[in-house]
Amino acid sequence: MKPETFQAISGYRFKQTGLLDQALSHRSFSRGNNNERLEFLGDSVLSLAITQYIYQQLPDADEGELSRIRASLVKEETLAEISRKNNLGEYIHLGGGELKSGGFRRASILSDVLEALIGAMCLDSSFEQARDAVLFLFRDYLDTLPDTQSLKDPKTRLQEFLQGKQSDLPNYEVIQTTGKAHDQVFTVKCRVPAFSVETSGKGGSRKKAEQVAAGIAFEQLTS
């Protein structure tokens, strides 16, 4: 990728092209000059940039609300989505195996390379300039910050609803586990005795299955 190409994507132009190339180099491509350390740095720069922005934009939000909003913005899915939107997958340097398996489309690789680019920008110039590029890249998400209530996970929403009704909390039970050890599917039952509600949910982990079951129970209780 040329510096001017990245400038069109982010508004930032690299002075040190070596940093740009390193940020785009997956460990499968180069063991000694890959983007893992830049990704580590970029993760912190991104978190601070987003934290500073939402802190200033939402003066009435408490710590818990700010944390949920930040988590919704810096998660893997959001980073991968931004990378796809800007076709960053086309510029990632991958080893033969990752290239054949379609690594340039994998969410984890796409999100990691964006964090690495953010870290590289910070080293190439300053935190302030990297922050400005982050805000530019995330502009569509920052223009419409999510409602904090909608960011609460289903189990939390169900628990708060029942506490508001002064009712006993739900109980969860794994009723089935299928698949091989590395690819299991859990089925969990959620019971809310006070309202005679019983639901079930499936997921790749017990936690995910509980969230699905809780979400269905919450919908039944509030619809």
Catalytic residue numbers?
A: 43, 115
Question: How far is it, in rounded angstroms, from Cα 43 to Cα 101?
Answer: 26
Identify which of 202, 207, 168 has the alpha carbon closest to the alpha carbon of residue 187: 202
Q: Could you tell me if 91 and 110 are in contact, meaning their C-beta atoms sit under 8 angstroms apart? A: no
What are residue 176's DSSP bridge partners?
A: 187
Give 46-49 contacts, CB < 8 A, sequence gap 24+.
46/74, 46/115, 46/118, 46/134, 47/74, 48/127, 48/131, 49/118, 49/127, 49/130, 49/131, 49/134, 49/135
Q: Which two tokens stand for residue 176?
A: 């089935």
